[in-house]
Amino acid sequence: MANQDASVSDDIESHNSDIVTVETINNEIADLLEQSHTITHEYIVGDVSDCRTANGHLHFDLVSGDASIHCVIFSVQHQQLTATPDENMHVAVQGDISYYEARGSCSIIVTDVVHMGESEYTQVYAENKRLLAADGLLADSQKQSLPELPETVGLVTSANSDARIDAVTAICNRYPGVDINIHDSTVQGTGAIQELISGISTLDSDTTVDVIIITRGGGADKTLRVFNETPLCRVIADTETPVAVGIGHEDDQTLAGEVADHRLMTPTHAGEVVPERAQLNSKLTQLSHDLPTAYHTALSGKLTTTATALNTAYQSATSQQLQQLETALDHAASRHFETQLTETQNRLHTAYQTLEQRKQHEQELEQTAEEIRTEVTAQTEAEMVTQQRRYMFVIVLLILIIIGLVVFNLI
C-alpha cells in the first residue's frame, strides 16, 4: 500500500506542474478578496452569537439561519461605537472583509454596529420554552430522582469527542466497575436531532440501563441549538429512565438541560450520576463499626418500647375492665333500684286500693249505722208517742174516775 501511494505521488509530481501549498492558495484567496470590488455592502444583518473578548478586542459571530461569519471590533474602534454587540442581539454591522491566510478564514473588521432589536433565535428559544412550560415539562414535579446505585449508565454523545472521554473518566473515577453503554451520535448539524432521539430511545428501551447521560463539549452557541429543539426536549421528558444532560460550559443554558431530570454543568460533571465509591466504602466501614452499637441501641429501644406498650396495654385493659365492671354494677344497681321502686309502687298501690276499700266499707258501715240510728230513733219516738198517748189515756181515765167519784160523793 505504501509503495502504491509513493507511485501515485511520483506520478503527480512528474505530470503536473501546477501544484501549490495551502499557504499559496490561502494567499491567492486573500489577494482575490482584497482586489474584488463586487463584495461591497453597506451593512450586513444577523444575530450576535458567541460574544467574547480577547486582548481587548471584541469577537463575535454574526449568524443568520445556518450561516455565520466571524466579526471583530478592535479595541480602538470599540470606544467609538454607539452600540456594543451582546448575546441575543439582532444587529446590522458595517466593516471590511478580511481573510486570515494562516487559518484560511474570513472575518468582518467591524467599524459600526446598529442595534435592531432582539435576535431572531432568542424569539424562537422563548417560544420553544413557552410551549414546553405550557405542557408542564419544565416543572420540578415532573422530574425523576437519579438512582442511588446505578449498575449501568447509558451515554449519548459523539464517540470520538473529548466530551465522551471526560464523561467516562469522571464516571469511572467516582464509581469504578460501573458498566457504561455508549451510543454514538452526532451532536450538531444536520441529522443530529434524529441521531440523538434514536440514541435516547434505544437506551430507554434497554431495561439494564439505570440512568442516561446526554452530553457534548462547549462550542459556538449556534452549534448547541439542536439541544433547544422541542422534539428532542419532549423525548427527554418522556423517558422512563432518569436522564441527566450536560451541554457545553457552565454558563451554557439549553432547554434539554431544563427538561432533564438532572442538569450537569459540563461533561466532566457526569460523575454526579453515580456515587463516589470511596465515600461508599468509608460509609460501609463506618456502618460496620456502628452496627453492633446500633443493634443494641435498637434492641434496647425496641424492648423499652415493647415494655412501655405492654404496660400501657395492661393499664388500658385493666382500666377498661374496671370501667366495664363499674358500668355493670351501675346497671345492676339501677335495675335493682328500679325493681324495688316498682315493687314499692305496687305495694303502695295495693295498700292504697285496700285503704280505699276500707274507707268505702267504713262509709258503708257508717251509712248503715246512721240508717239504724235513724230507724231506732224513729221507733223510739213512735214508742214514746204511743206511751204518751197511753199516759194521757190513763190520766184522762183517772181524772174521769176522780170526777166520777167526786160526783158520786156529792150525790
**pLDDT per residue over 344-355, tens digit each?**
788 878 877 887
Choice between 376 and 8, residue whose per-residue pLDDT is larger: 376
Per-residue pLDDT, 350:
82
pLDDT at 17 (0 to 100)? 60
- 229 phi and psi angles, rounded to 5 deg: -75, 135
Q: How much is the pLDDT for 303?
A: 77
Residue 320 DSSP one-character state: H
Judged against a pLDDT cut of 80, whether residue 22 lies above it is answered with yes
Position 382 pLDDT exceeds 70: yes
pLDDT at residue 81, rounded to an integer: 87
Q: Are 52 and 60 in contact (CB under 8 A)?
A: yes
Confidence at residue 362, expressed as pLDDT on a 0 to 100 scale: 78
**Greatest CA span in the chain, whole angstroms?**
240
Between 17 and 339, whose confidence is greater? 339
Confidence of residue 16 (pLDDT cuts 50, 70, 90): low
For residue range 100-118, what is the model confidence (pLDDT) as tens digits? 888 888 899 999 999 999 8
Mean pLDDT in the chain? Answer: 86
Write down the residue that cell numbers 442581539 correspond to. Answer: 89
Whether residue 72 is predicted with pLDDT greater than 90 in this model: the reply is yes
Q: Are 79 and 114 in contact (CB under 8 A)?
A: no
HSE toward the beta carbon, residue 46, CA cutoff 13 A = 21
User: What is the enclosing helix (H) or strand (E) of 411?
Assistant: none
> Which of left, alpha, beta for 117 (phi over 0: left; psi -120 to 50: alpha)?
left
pTM of the full structure? 0.61
d(CA 368, CA 205): 122
| 11-20, 174-183, 395-404: segment of lowest average pLDDT | 11-20
pLDDT-based confidence at residue 157 (cuts at 50, 70, 90): very high
- All three cell numbers of 348, joined, read 303502695
* Domains of the chain, first to last: 13-118 (2.40.50.140), 125-278 (3.40.50.2300)
- Note the pLDDT of residue 172: 94
What pLDDT is recorded for position 178? 93
What are the backbone angles phi and psi of residue 21, rounded to the nearest 5°?
A: -95, 170
| 78: DSSP letter | H
Please report, rounded to a whole number, the percentage of residues in the chain having pLDDT higher than 70.
95
Where is pLDDT greater, at 23 or 69? 69
- Residue 409 CB partners (closer than 8 Å, separation 6+): none
* pLDDT-derived band at 138, boundaries 50, 70, 90: very high
Does the structure show a pLDDT above 60 at 161?
Answer: yes
Q: How many angstroms separate the CA atoms of 183 and 409, rounded?
A: 192
CA 250, 256, 260: angle at the middle one, nearest 5?
95
Report pLDDT digits (tens) over 312-343.
877 877 778 878 877 877 787 778 777 887 88
What is the spatial distance between Cα 12 and Cα 65, in angstroms, rounded to a whole number?
41
- When pLDDT is cut at 50, 70 and 90, the band that residue 158 belongs to is very high
